[in-house]
Structure 1
Amino acid sequence: MTVWLLGDQLNPDVAPLQSADRVLMIEAHAFGDRGPYHPQKLTLVFSAMRHFRDELRASGHEVTYLRAETFGDALDEYFAANPGDDVVLMDPPSHRAGERLQEMVKSRGGTLTLVPNDLFLTTPEMFDEWATSHGDNDTYRQEHWYRFVRRELDVLMDGDDPVGGEWNYDDENRETPPDGWEPPQPPRFEPDELTEDVREFVRERYDEVWGSDEEFVWPVTRAEAEKALNHFIRVRLCEFGPYQDAMLEGEWALCHSLLSSSLNLGLLHPRDVVAAAESAYEDGAPLNSVEGFIRQIIGWREFVRHVYRRSMPEMGTANQLGQTTSLPEAYYTGETEMNCLSEAVGHVWNHGYAHHIERLMVLSNFALIYGADPHELNEWFHFGFVDAFHWVTTPNVVAMGSFATDVLSSKPYAASANYVNEMSDYCSSCVYAHTKTTGDRACPFNALYWDFLKRNEEVLRGTGRMGLMYSHVDTKDDEEWAAIRDRAVEIREKGARGDL
């Protein structure tokens, strides 16, 4: 039996590998021509694949590793040498990817059998049964799923009840670090010779990239990913909880785990990550930190995988607010006087990463109230983040961040400068005034926020959680709305010109 392993299936414990006679891996390059991919993302994927190839060979597997422009080119070469071969592939999570690969193999005279992807903790059948039992197969709410899956997997449970008596400690995870606090340094994994070769290949092969490849610190092997997990558990987890929603000037990592790329490539299995966090709780780690982290894994990562699966292809084109404006130039240049936006875009440029609050409440929130096309924003995330795959970004960016569909959120995550000021120290050194809505130095978040609510009033006013926001909308008179609209227009013009 030949097992085909994709670049996001780099785990030696997956079921198909245990009975494989031969392993097929294809390093396809042309996908990187579809847009300005971050060079660190390209380097990470190709380096992780080549390291995994070498580890499989060292463990006795026969590995056919093909480098080609496309999967089709590589499959032509493979089936010319192995006519009629039967190939097994774990079903990839991106929409119809497995079916497309089956068709490609069939057209070359082979067969491709799709088997369950065991790099997740929950199965499609489990989620589908849960969704049916909750009576609405079109919209999904994460908190209900999270409680269900905690019980099913017996994670942080005390019999039938959650450990500590509460399911969710989110209200203990919104603290601002005290003055003088410094986060621990994130782990660094210096590129070895193989990774340096890949980095040079990426520099030579790709004409159009976005981002810097200078500070490449990501794990490219299972051993490095395990070290990163251990470092997080020992050094960062305890303070992750209270400060997980915080943003600090000059700090790109804070106490976040930085494990998402390793999870999404398969270098770490979520089972091992959750087990390590549970063990830390048993050893005395704070419950709010452990629960908040585990919620990211089993409550959110598993959730968006299934919502994506059930909501595509409609989610891929959804735009219920009809937003079509191009992203501000600042997303591509990083050049803006908005301190928060400059920081967040800079983190992506330098590292291919920004943490979840920067993603949702700065990058997505600003694009949302600016009126940006959700699918351009989705592509921007997909190209720019080292942990981004279509099944990851589409529900997070299109559904949650852009509210282009209400499939997983009952309201848009739209906020004014008040939120950024509350959760960061960005506003204190920004040239824009977070307390002003109109005028030359009024923070762009504010006028855009009110303009967003007014423009989308027909869709949003009746939603269940928007009443308070629209009670404030109703207090503004015509003169104030005229000033808000003028300021919003001015901000969009500045954004398009690149002088925001």
Structure 2
Amino acid sequence: MTVLVLGDQLTRDHGPIADGTSDVLMVEATAFATRHAYHPHKLALVFAAMRQFRDDLRETGHTVHYHQVETFAAAIEAHFEDHPDDELVVMDPPSYRGAERLRSIVEDAGGALDVVENDLFLVTPDAFDEWFDGEGSGGEGTNYRHEAFYRWQRRETGYLMDGDDPEGGEWNLDDQNQEAADPEKEFPDPPRFDPDELTRETVEWVEETFDGGYDTTVKGGAWADPEPFFWPVTRAQALDALADFCEHRLAGFGPYQDAMLDGEWSLNHLLLSPAINLGLLHPREVVEAAIETYRERDDVPLNSVEGFVRQLIGWREFMRQTYRREMPEMATANLLDAPHDLPEFYWTSETEMHCLSDVVGSVRERGYTHHIPRLMLLSNFALTYGVEPAQVNEWFHAAYVDAYHWVTTPNVVGMGVFGTDVLTTKPYASSANYVDRMSDYCSDCAYAKTETTGENACPFNALYWDFLGRHEDDLRNNYRIGPVYGHWDGKDDDERREIHDRADEIRELAESGDL
């Protein structure tokens, strides 16, 4: 029997490899890398991590059959030509119908495939289904509620629990984690890992092989000239990055986890979602390292570690399960019938909106921003602008180094642009008020944060009110956003018409590249 190790299952400590199987099959398929306009750092990360893992396995006595081919099917066919009596075993991939596609490819090549549980998550599909479909699950009809799931997971894992109660007496300390960061405050630099020879060769190979995939005139020269590659691509590097986070950034993570600062792309964030999603780190060991640090040090507050734990055992696991249950409908959902194309500046960063220019610039440079720019700037603009959800999802999938379809689809379609209401109870729409409160972007912007109409009015303001006006029939009775309509009711017909005209003008400016 041979273990088929996929590019997001790079672990020796979990799954079939951990059971002692010595033969391994890995496939590096270039066709995968041309499906979207992927950021070069994302491609370099995946391929470098796979090659590093291959060499690590060989050094530890494994026999690794490593195929560098155009298509995955070609590698499987070649494997069974050389090993006709072999059987493959693989951990269940989290992507929709991933196991079905793999089994079809293997069977077409005359082989057999055993799909086993994916051990790289904390919650199994069966456990989630039993909880959600049972009494007291927190589900309301077909809707999913993260807070109920999170509390269930706290009880199941015992993390930050005091008997049957949450440590500190509260489940969620989010109200302590919404401070705006002072621009004068210094944040620790995250670790950057100098590529070794193998990683350097991989980065150069990506640049030479896939240049047409991400540096195209169609996408406005997307991802041209990113900064040097620095992401961890081995387990040792990932463990070093985890230790660095616990030592230098965990204590300040909580208060500023929602903050945004001009030019500060990392703040106190973990930056290990790429390594976790590749399998180099298990979410359990990451959470337990943070909790251990909290236990050992007086300077790490409960709100910091609770906010961190909530992201991993709560939100990440919740996204995986809602994606699994709601596909394929979730991928094409468009609840509000958003009709517009994604503006070109998402690829180029060429806009006078200071916040979006800086954030897209960060994506272009390194394929990363933390979760608040993703939700409250990039997704918020797309939501109120009216971008078709599938286009936003494709951009996030291509642009971010930690993005996979199971990650982006519920986060972007479900939460970011309200393409479906099975996941969230309201659209996360906001005006410039939120951006100004949580960042320093507005103080140095060509647009006026206090103006709604007029040529220098912040686009977020007119788009926000235009969004509420256009979707009044859908949203007025929403208990979370409905109260805002009291302000809409206070605007007369002339003001509403000016708002809609300004929103139309913003769309025209974005389409022409002049926003």
User: What amino acid maps onto 2:61 in structure 1?
Assistant: G
Task: Tell me how far 1:466 sits from its aligned partner.
Answer: 1.6
Per-residue CA deviations over 1:150-174 (Å, capped at 9, x if unaligned) read 0001111011011111111100001
- Normalised to the residue count of structure 2, the TM-score between the two structures is 0.96
Which sections of structure 2, spanning at least 5 residues, go unmatched? 215-221
Distance across 2 between alignment mates of 1:461 and 1:56: 57
Task: Tell me how far 1:214 sits from its aligned partner.
Answer: 2.8
Indicate yes or no: 2:450 matched with 1:449: no
Aligned to 2:435: 420
Distance across 2 between alignment mates of 1:324 and 1:228: 42
Aligned to 1:208: 213
CA gap of 1:199–1:288, structure 2 versus 1, over 3 A, is same
Distance across 2 between alignment mates of 1:127 and 1:358: 30
Per-residue CA deviations over 1:330-381 (Å, capped at 9, x if unaligned) read 1011001101100110111001001000000000000000001111000000
Task: Tell me how far 1:280 sits from its aligned partner.
Answer: 1.3
Alignment of 1:229-248 (within 5 A): 229-248=242-261
Alignment of 1:261-410 (within 5 A): 261-283=274-296, 284=298, 285-410=300-425
Distance across 2 between alignment mates of 1:37 and 1:338: 24
Aligned to 1:462: 477
Aligned to 1:12: 12
Contact 2:203-2:229 at 8 Å conserved across structures:
no
Task: Tell me how far 1:208 sits from its aligned partner.
Answer: 2.3
Indicate yes or no: 2:439 matched with 1:434: no
Distance across 1 between alignment mates of 2:495 and 2:206: 52
Contact 2:355-2:441 at 8 Å conserved across structures:
yes
Contact 2:90-2:114 at 8 Å conserved across structures:
yes
Contact 2:475-2:482 at 8 Å conserved across structures:
no
Distance across 2 between alignment mates of 1:137 and 1:155: 28
Aligned to 1:59: 60
Contact 2:22-2:61 at 8 Å conserved across structures:
no
Aligned to 1:89: 90
Task: Tell me how far 1:76 sits from its aligned partner.
Answer: 1.4
Distance across 2 between alignment mates of 1:278 and 1:393: 27
Helix, strand or coil at the partner of 2:68: strand
Helix, strand or coil at the partner of 2:84: coil
Task: Tell me how far 1:191 sits from its aligned partner.
Answer: 1.1
- Normalised to the residue count of structure 1, the TM-score between the two structures is 0.99
Aligned to 2:218: none
Distance across 1 between alignment mates of 2:183 and 2:502: 34
User: What amino acid maps onto 1:408 in structure 2?
Assistant: L
The count of residues paired between Structure 1 and Structure 2 equals: 500
User: What amino acid maps onto 1:174 in structure 2?
Assistant: Q
Contact 1:243-1:255 at 8 Å conserved across structures:
yes
Helix, strand or coil at the partner of 1:67: strand
User: What amino acid maps onto 2:38 in structure 1?
Assistant: Y
Task: Tell me how far 1:267 sits from its aligned partner.
Answer: 0.5
Distance across 1 between alignment mates of 2:182 and 2:26: 49
Helix, strand or coil at the partner of 1:24: strand
Distance across 2 between alignment mates of 1:393 and 1:382: 6
Contact 1:84-1:109 at 8 Å conserved across structures:
no
Per-residue CA deviations over 1:414-447 (Å, capped at 9, x if unaligned) read 0000000000000000010010000010000000
Please say which of residues 60-69 and 28-37 is displaced more in the overlay.
Answer: 28-37
Distance across 2 between alignment mates of 1:380 and 1:459: 27
Q: CA RMSD in A?
A: 1.0
Distance across 2 between alignment mates of 1:230 and 1:21: 30
Distance across 2 between alignment mates of 1:494 and 1:232: 41
Aligned to 1:69: 70
Per-residue CA deviations over 1:178-227 (Å, capped at 9, x if unaligned) read 35201101110011111111111111111121324433110000000000
Which sections of structure 1, spanning at least 5 residues, go unmatched? none
Distance across 1 between alignment mates of 2:327 and 2:206: 32
Distance across 2 between alignment mates of 1:93 and 1:137: 24
Distance across 2 between alignment mates of 1:463 and 1:374: 21
Helix, strand or coil at the partner of 1:25: strand
Indicate yes or no: 2:174 matched with 1:164: no
Please say which of residues 357-366 and 124-133 is displaced more in the overlay.
Answer: 124-133
Percent of pairs with identical residues: 59
Alignment of 1:239-258 (within 5 A): 239-258=252-271
Per-residue CA deviations over 1:386-409 (Å, capped at 9, x if unaligned) read 000000000000000010001110
Contact 2:38-2:399 at 8 Å conserved across structures:
yes
Distance across 2 between alignment mates of 1:168 and 1:97: 34
User: What amino acid maps onto 2:231 in structure 1?
Assistant: W
Per-residue CA deviations over 1:467-487 (Å, capped at 9, x if unaligned) read 221111111110001100110
Contact 1:131-1:137 at 8 Å conserved across structures:
no
Distance across 1 between alignment mates of 2:184 and 2:42: 33
Helix, strand or coil at the partner of 1:13: coil
Distance across 1 between alignment mates of 2:85 and 2:364: 45
